[in-house]
A and B are shown apart, each in its own frame.
Chain A
Amino acid sequence: MKILVPVKRVVDYNVKVRVKADGSGIDLANVKMSMNPFDEIAIEEAVRLKEAGIATEVIAVSCGVTACQETLRTAMAIGADRGILVETDVELQPLAVAKLLQALCAKEQPQLVICGKQAIDDDANQTGQMLAALQNWPQATFASKVLIANGKASVTREIDGGLETLEISLPAVVSTDLRLNEPRYATLPNIMKAKKKPLDTVKPADLGVDVTPRLTTLKVSEPPKRSAGIKVADVAELVNKLKNEAKVI
């Protein structure tokens, strides 16, 4: 069984982003970029399924600018067998990415797509569900445990207030939550090996997909700043402030 894993190149999660002064977006000049953390978990899960003998091949896909090659190399250093870059300079929105992945699913025929539940830049949390819909496949989002057996997946999901387990037929889309696994560090030998793994590049037009954005960002602004308050000396002062000043208890 082949597993396809989409990976996104995003601003590293440790970076505090800055809004551009003209309100046109986020300042991305000289900012450290990394693989979206949820996608790392997705790659790790796919590689573990391969190591367990359940998957035969793990294909990483990234959609975006040329530099997404680095993200694919990282995925291959973790253990993906090959990479596909869908190269474009157009701003890609989740529906467009889902359509690109749909076209790649038609070509590669994976039994499972594992993706991160959301990217930490646009915080959209859409692509996996959209792909599942376009493919008319079942979905199991926000997974914390994935078991594959007899052409089915049993997936435990993180939901508000607890957990639930769904049994879905394959092919299907699974999206990862934080506790699914802890991704390994790519070792130097594996980073070197990843450089030799195959990486194909295609364009959205080759896949017959129109990636024109549907949403227009009119402006990006700083959220209202919360200013630091005061330090209290002890518990008595804290209780007094909460009772008499803030009046919240």
Chain B
Amino acid sequence: MTILVIAEHDQQSLKAATLNTVTAAQKIGGDIHVLVAGSNCNAAAEQAATLQGVTLVKVADAAHYQSQTAENLTALVIAHAAGYSHILAPATTFGKNLCPRIAALLDVAQISEITGVESPDTFVRPIYAGNALATVQSADKVKVITVRTTAFDAVDAGNTAKIEAIAAAADTAQSTLTHRELTKSERPELGAAKIIVSGGRGLGSGENYHTLLEPLADKLGAALGASRAAVDAGFVPNDYQVGQTGKIVAPQLYLAVGISGAIQHLAGMKESKVIVAINKDPDAPIFQVADYGLVGDLFDVVPQLAAAL
């Protein structure tokens, strides 16, 4: 068995999600190859070669991999897919965009967002916003899988795998990136943060969200998140969203402020180690999953908390 892990990276370094995906590959067992496709992406390839368990890093370096479009990456993976029993990518917007396209061309099912590996052909994945766990077995010759990164630890470095250049596939020219705007923030990335301060509709406005939660997040060195209600109300951009249709997070500490706790939100954060809920409604469902609940007016409590830290 040989597993191909498709690296998510920014040319310079691997995204943290790639490290979790390699751990999932280790659980399946077998040789692990990492594909780094990019433009001037040697630094990312060199980092991939340090990951434990990786036996070979394949690098495809071409200008048309700069923007990481699904069309071009799929053509590349299909051209090099022979011999692989499993193809893995993180279940991030990168992997979710890419992997079904690969699976369809290989005429195999994709197994989405696995949280557990039972055997090389059997995997556990959440369905219904994590309200149920399905154990599924694939009969396909190649298993194309996306990996829920919070379910697997990051792999350690310290390896020196071989790096091999591979031929790029032709540019499909079907899709052109015209603009990319990444939220600039000094804060940790939501997916990788140890502490997350998350706000909901209870904050009342975008202004309140920022003036109340930012000082608290600064004190804790925390990332900022939000419920779908807060995103829908326009308090913060969509990439803050934690939940079934947003990001799935599992930090050491998750502070839910003014979040009622709809099942779609709980789906995104209930694997957190410690959950704190601050809400004025003592019956809010968020308290059913919170380790520590504080019933009170967040406009009083949050500044007090920031001051007490």
Contact = CB atoms under 8 A, between A and B. Distances in A.
A90 interface: no
Contacts of B165: none
Given A94-B100, A98-B104, A161-B189, A168 B308 contact: no
B128 A242 contact: no
Interface string B165-191: 000000010111111111100000101
Contacts, number: 251
Nearest to A96: B109
B274 A248 contact: yes
Contact of A234 (B69, B232, B294): B294
Interface string A111-150: 0000001101111111111111110011111101000000
B120 interface: no
A interface, over-half SS: mixed
Range for the number of chain A residues in contact with chain B: 35 or more
- From B253, B291, B295, name the one whose CB has the most chain A CB atoms within 10 angstroms: B291
A220 interface: yes
B183 A161 contact: yes
A236 B177 contact: no
Interface in A32-83: 38
Contacts of B99: 129
B263 A16 contact: yes
B305 interface: yes
B232 A178 contact: yes
A90 to B, nearest CB: 14
Given A121-B127, A228-B287, A133 B104 contact: yes
Given A130-B103, A242-B276, A219 B135 contact: yes
A239 B308 contact: yes
B127 A122 contact: yes
B173 to A, nearest CB: 9
B134 interface: yes
Contacts of A249: 195, 220, 253, 309
B243 to A, nearest CB: 10
A98 to B, nearest CB: 6
Given A220-B127, A223-B132, A246-B274, A228 B288 contact: yes
A124 B112 contact: yes
B247 A160 contact: yes
A29 interface: no
Contacts of B291: 229-230, 246
Contacts of A19: 132
Contacts of A38: 245
A228 B138 contact: no
- From A132, A165, A249, name the one whose CB has the most chain B CB atoms within 10 angstroms: A249
Contacts of B104: 95, 98, 129-131, 133-134
Nearest to A102: B104
Contacts of B174: 137-138, 168-169
A196 interface: no
B105 interface: yes
Contact of B253 (A17, A132, A230, A246): A246
B140 interface: yes
A124 B179 contact: no
Nearest to A132: B101
B56 interface: no
- From B130, B134, B177, name the one whose CB has the most chain A CB atoms within 10 angstroms: B134
Contact of B175 (A11, A130, A140): A140
Contacts of B195: 248-249
Interface in A201-221: 214-221
Contacts of B112: 122-126
Given A167-B176, A220-B132, A246-B291, A161 B96 contact: no
Given A120-B245, A123-B244, A223-B132, 19 more contacts: A95-B103, A123-B113, A126-B110, A137-B174, A165-B179, A215-B109, A216-B137, A217-B134, A217-B135, A219-B134, A220-B127, A220-B133, A221-B135, A222-B133, A228-B287, A229-B290, A229-B291, A231-B287, A242-B292
28 contacts: A17-B128, A94-B100, A94-B109, A95-B103, A118-B245, A120-B245, A122-B112, A122-B127, A130-B104, A131-B104, A141-B97, A144-B238, A159-B93, A159-B180, A161-B183, A162-B180, A162-B182, A162-B239, A163-B179, A165-B180, A166-B69, A215-B137, A220-B127, A229-B292, A230-B291, A230-B293, A242-B253, A246-B292
Which 4 pairs of residues, A with B, have the shortest CB-CB distance?
A229-B291, A129-B100, A130-B104, A214-B109
